[in-house]
Structures are given as structure tokens and as C-alpha cells.
Amino acid sequence: MKKKKHQHILTATQLVSAIVLVVVMITINLVAHYWHHEEVVFDEDIVDETPAVVPSGTRLFAFDPNTADSLTLLQLGLRPWQIKNMMKYRAKGGRYKQADDFRKLYGMTDSAFAALKPYIRIDSTAWVARRDSLRQLRFERDSLKHIADSLRRDSIYSARGYIVKRDTIIELNSADTTSLQYIRGIGSYTAKAIIYYRNQLGGYVSPQQIREIKQLQDYKVNFDSIIPHLTAERDSVARLRVNYIGVERLQRHPYLSFTQAKAIYELRRNKFYLKSIDDLRGLNCLTDEDIRRIEPYLSFEK
């Protein structure tokens, strides 16, 4: 009798397992094959950071480390990374003021510096000129900023109705109460008193006359801080026409009493008209000081 042959057939599950096993083995072999051949990339700056060396036989030449370009520095033996650092240093305003400063360059060896030092030529005049120009630019920038800040502050204060105090010169006979208040130490009350006394006088011939204002004396105004900021145009004073006015008008002037005004009037009546201030010197009621004070306010025209 013939024996039947046994056929070994894999099931679907066994087939899938076999394929997975084969794939895993292939992957492991590939990883093992390429693992030790992975390329390592280093930072160029780290690899190239070797000190500057002047090659033997190199023809050296004079150079200024403050103005030399990169090609010139390469020809002198400096490394690219050193040149890059130099350019950054110069771009930020750094300067080599003397030859020995070049030794401080990172990576500069004693031997390389000794070889290069005799060829270093630093133009100090150009550096000083650039430094001075930078200082001038900074000064102008700061000045413009200060002006801009002042204008901005003044505009804000003005918009809010405040008077912005500042150092200025004011002419007393043309100023109003608002302009007077720009001076430190003068408020609304002081400004009104100054204008009122100006109207009584007919105008100021000297800023010192504000010391005569009784209200300000009582108010304890600091005249010494105010007066340097005031001027008085003497020609703008209103004069009293002595030959045409009466006692009442004369006595309204702060420098004349009723007795003095009457004496001047009577003198003018007796002489028909007065020619000059000298005609008043004979009056017993007027002292030399009285005449000195009143003289700018009198006119003797016919």
C-alpha cells in the first residue's frame, strides 16, 4: 500500500507573523549598518578659532586697525572670525586709540602682535574728529529733546489754563498781566499791582520802581528775583504838560503831593510858563530827590 504525503500549509496568522519578523530584522540590520557612519557637524567658529599667525615670508605693510578692510586684515594673517569681531567692535563705535590696544584682540598671540605692531598706524586726528562730532551730535540731540519736552509741557499746561513759568525778559510798559505771570515769583495779584502802579505813574523808567508799590511790600514779594527779568523803555513814558494842566491833575501823580502840585501850578501862573525842570529848583517844598524822581514825567513844552 502507498503512504500519503503530509502537506504543511501555514495559516494566515503565521504568515503575517513571519512577514513582521522579517521586516524587523531588516530594520535592525540597516540601523546597525548606518549608525557609525552618521556625519557630525561642528560650529564653524569653534573649529576655526585658532590664534592669528603671521606666516613666515608674509610681506607686511602699514595699516590702521580702525579703517582697514577685511581683505587687508586677511592678508596680514588674521582669522575670519577675528575680523568679524573687529568689524562688530568698530560698528558699535569702538576704536583702537594706540597700537597696544590691538593686542587685546581675542586670539592675538604675542608673536603675531610683535610682528604686526611696527606696521600699525593709528590716525588719532580722525578718531578725535569723529569722537568730537559724535559728542556734538549727542549734545544737539539732547538739546532738541529738551526743547521738545519743554514745548510739550508748555502746550499741556497752556491747554489746562496754567501759566508756564520760565526765564524770560519782560518790558514793563508794554506787558499785560498774563505776560508778567510768565516770570517766576509773579502771580495774578502781583501782576495786577504792577500794572495799576504803571498807570498811576504814566509808565516805568526803571524796573526798580516796583519796589515802591505798597501792596507788594506788604505782600513780601521777592523783588531781587523778579527785577532782573524786567526792563523799562523810558521813551514810552506819558509826560505831564506842566504849562497846561491844573493842580488836580498834577497831584494824582504818585510822586507829587497836593502842596507840591499847588506850588508848581502857582509858579507857572506867576511866570506864565515854565521852561525846564530848573525852574522848579527854587521851590522849598521840592527836594533834589523829589525833582530827580519827577523829572522824567514832566514836559515843559509851550
Between 171 and 17, whose confidence is greater?
171
| C-alpha pair distances (Å), 158 with each of 151, 152, 231 | 10, 10, 25
Q: Report the amino acid identity of residue 238.
A: A
Supply the pLDDT for residue 144. 64
Supply the pLDDT for residue 244. 92
Three-state DSSP state, 10: coil
Burial zone of 96 (CB within 10 Å; 0-12 exposed, 13-18 middle, 19+ buried) = buried
- As a whole-number percent, the residues of the chain with pLDDT over 70 amount to 70
**277 has pLDDT over 80:** yes
Rounded CA-CA distance 20/111 in Å is 66
Instruction: Tell me what the mean pLDDT of segment 26-31 comes to.
Output: 64
Supply the pLDDT for residue 95. 85
Cβ proximity of 184 and 165 under 8 Å: yes
Supply the pLDDT for residue 76. 86
Between 163 and 246, whose confidence is greater?
246
Q: Which residue's entry shows cell 517766576?
A: 184
Supply the pLDDT for residue 2. 47
Instruction: Tell me what the mean pLDDT of segment 272-294 comes to.
Output: 93
Supply the pLDDT for residue 146. 65
Supply the pLDDT for residue 10. 56
Cβ proximity of 251 and 257 under 8 Å: yes
Q: Which residue's entry shows cell 594673517?
A: 77
**235 has pLDDT over 70:** yes
Q: What is the helix, strand, coil percentage profile of the chain, to 5?
A: 55, 5, 40
Cβ proximity of 193 and 181 under 8 Å: no
Supply the pLDDT for residue 6. 47
Rounded CA-CA distance 10/17 in Å is 11
Supply the pLDDT for residue 122. 85
How does residue 300 score in pLDDT terms, banded at 50, 70 and 90?
very high
**79 has pLDDT over 60:** yes
Beta strands in the chain (DSSP E): 170-171, 230-231, 240-241, 298-299
**43 has pLDDT over 50:** no
Supply the pLDDT for residue 33. 52
Mean pLDDT (the chain) is 80
| C-alpha pair distances (Å), 142 with each of 75, 98, 134, 136, 137 | 43, 30, 12, 10, 9
Pure H helices in 220-296? 223-226, 247-251, 258-271, 288-294
pTM above 0.85, yes or no: no
How does residue 46 score in pLDDT terms, banded at 50, 70 and 90?
very low
Pure H helices in 160-208? 177-180, 188-201
Burial zone of 163 (CB within 10 Å; 0-12 exposed, 13-18 middle, 19+ buried) = middle
